[in-house]
Amino acid sequence: MGSSSFNERVYAVVRRIPRGMVATYGQVAALAGAPRNARMVGYALHANPEPGVIPCHRVVFRDGSLAPGFAFGGPDEQRVLLEDEGVVFVPPAAKPAGAPGWRVDLDHCQWRE
């Protein structure tokens, strides 16, 4: 299983995520046939050959948080793109110092294939 074929499978999965929905890195890895390779999904998306065509902004962490190193403008840009599509965010329950902020409401916005 070469990395380019893995990347192509990741891109095929990500292209299927509907507008207004998100998938987690682990979910994409499983659908690409490589469960437990969520980190590799991140590498594949960072190398996205078609930004704007392959909607990598629709992939989030398993807790709904956004990637701090979102390759195409940072988490603020990722959030703008998602909110423009109607993705709902929820505040953290209790925010201790240094905790991540708002997260995607996965109960309502996670894609279920």
Q: Which residues are catalytic?
A: 56
7/56 Cα distance (integer angstroms): 12
What is the distance between the alpha carbons of residues 27 and 2, in angstroms, rounded to a whole number? 20
**Which of 77, 87, 92, 93 has the alpha carbon at shortest distance from 110?**
87
Instruction: Name residue 22's beta-bridge partners.
Output: 110
113 touches 16 (CB < 8 A)? yes
Max CA separation in the chain (angstroms): 43
